[in-house]
Amino acid sequence: MSETTTSSKSSDTQAGNYFVANYPPFSFWGEDDIPCIDALLNSPTPGDKIPLGLYMHIPFCRKRCHFCYFRVYTDKNSSEIRRYLDAAMQELETYSKKPYLQDRKPKFVYFGGGTPSYLSAQQLASLTERMQALIPWDEAEEVTFECEPGTLNENKLRAIRDMGITRLSLGIENFDDHILEINGRAHRSGEIHRAYEYARSINFPQINIDLISGMVEETPENWQDCVAKTIELAPDCVTIYQMEVPYNTTIYKRMKEEGKLTAPVADWNTKREWVNYAFDQLEQAGYTVTSAYTAVKDPDNTKFVYRDQLWSGADLLSTGVASFGHLGGIHYQNLAHIEQYIEIVESGKLPFNRALMTTDEERFLREFILQMKIGQVRPSYFQNKFNEDLNTRFNSQFKDLQERNFLERDNDEIRLTRDGLLQVDALLHAFFLPQHVTSRYT
């Protein structure tokens, strides 16, 4: 097991976002920069100079997990879902006519949620056909689709495969029915195995399994069993998250009602030890750890194009309620409530909620901070792209991390040790600009 220098008290899991998903933090985005997006969209296309990705948010679920902080809905009927999908297509159509996006084809596509697999096979076929008519993705290197195992059957999986999905991501989280139930997951263990066997039988190019360490009432024995069952299934990729408790979750609401500061989940030291155990077991089974969260069976052929392109400055055209995008150095998020989102789109407008025009320095820091989560960065990349010398700019931060045995460096590689990788999100704030150091990430 790994050792950290974190004290027991500070290791407690408290409310808030731990995972660093972007930079600058979302809490610094606002309404003032929304006009910048309109100006960008009406500017000339960059063509192939900047890779383009496409994200579609499907906000529907069978049940809301107690740890979920995304914008999801569990009470929508078929007509309401149809109206939402129509609005999403209208939003995409508006984008498709903008000069900035002309003649650009996505290099990667991502269907996220919520639960994209909540939709019926017919709805999925219609959705992707309409999307392709507006912005074709026949040149995409990767098309990812998130699934909840209990929403899958053989017919729907075949429909998903026919959509051109290359990376199927199964949100398993845990294999134990009690743990799944007490954390608010809709699926059960029998549905996991049935869905996985179906998916394997129709030859998806890549199957990913999501796990979460430190869930409510999870034990060391349960975690070891989850890791063993994952290795037995032998997915192409395993993604492991450490349980956090953002403010807009059921768990936090319960904490607030009971006046508790510590969440009823494993502390950070325990979660890191469990992820380290999983990585060790996966490596013994032939996997390679490729980031703070992922291990892959065949790193030469199993890529995560969405992550790698996005963390290297690609544009992300993001559609749907509450979705986050990034175009030409401008961050944006759509309106967060479904009715408001639909009404604005139906009125012929794009549904922006907040945005941030980043500076050159912030764009450099964003790529550096996100790429650190892979576990290694090359100074030559940042010197060539941003004219920034990492070893000069961050010498004091690197020295501190080296002294704490979290980092190693040589001529053209800065590497996190395993201990550093396991807590990288907590270390990244040392590289934030002073004005962005805050306790509130979202």
Number of alpha carbons in the 13 Å side-chain half-sphere of residue 441: 19
Under the phi-then-psi rule, with left for phi > 0, alpha for psi from -120 to 50, and beta for the rest, what region is 203? left
Positive or negative, the CA dihedral 110, 114, 119, 121 is: positive
For 373-384, how does the pLDDT look when each residue is reduced to its tens digit (9 = 90+)?
A: 999 999 999 999
Q: pLDDT at residue 6 above 50?
A: no
Model confidence band, residue 8 (pLDDT cutoffs 50, 70, 90): very low
> Side chain identity at 341, as an amino acid letter?
Y
Average pLDDT over residues 180-201: 92
Say what the pLDDT of residue 10 is.
63
Rg (C-alpha) for the chain, rounded Å, is 21
> Phi and psi of 25, rounded to 5°?
-55, 150
Share of the chain above pLDDT 70, in %: 97
pLDDT at residue 14, rounded to an integer: 82
* Tens of pLDDT, residues 280-325: 999 999 999 999 999 999 999 998 999 999 999 999 999 999 999 9
| pLDDT value for 313 | 96
Please give the Cα distance from 325 to 309 (Å, whole number). 13
pLDDT tens-place string over residues 312-370? 999 999 999 999 999 999 999 999 999 999 999 999 999 999 999 999 999 999 999 99
pLDDT of residue 110 exceeding 90, the answer is: yes
Strand partners for 327: 330
Question: Chain-wide mean pLDDT for the chain?
Answer: 93
Amino acid at 66: H
Give me the pLDDT at residue 69, please.
74
Instruction: Write out the two tokens for 70.
Output: 């995304």
Other beta carbons within 10 Å of 65: 22
Q: How many helices (H) and strands (E) does the chain have?
A: 17, 15
Helix 78-96 and helix 338-346, axial crossing angle in degrees, nearest 10: 50
**Helix/strand/coil for 326:** strand
Give the CA distances from residue 24 to residues 101, 283, 330, in Å, rounded to whole numbers and listed in that order. 24, 34, 11
pLDDT class for 260, splitting at 50, 70, 90?
confident
User: What's the one-letter identity of residue 47?
Assistant: G
pLDDT of residue 68: 76
What is the per-residue pLDDT across 236-259, written as a single tens digit (0 to 9) for each? 999 999 988 778 778 778 878 888
What pLDDT, in 10s, does the model give residues 19-56? 899 999 999 999 999 999 999 999 999 999 999 999 99
Contact status, residue 77 vs residue 118, Cβ threshold 8 Å: no
Rounded to 5°, angle at Cα 93 from 88 and 98:
130
pLDDT at 186 over 80: yes
Q: Which two tokens stand for residue 172?
A: 């398993």
The domains found in the chain, sorted by start residue, are 26-310 (3.80.30.20), 359-442 (1.10.10.920)
Which segments of 323-442 does DSSP mark as H helices, in order?
338-346, 360-372, 379-386, 390-393, 395-403, 418-422, 424-427
- Amino acid identity, position 362: E
The whole-angstrom separation of Cα 359 and Cα 361 is: 5
Bridge pairing between strands 407-410 and 413-416? antiparallel
Contact of 198 with 154, CB cutoff 8 Å: yes
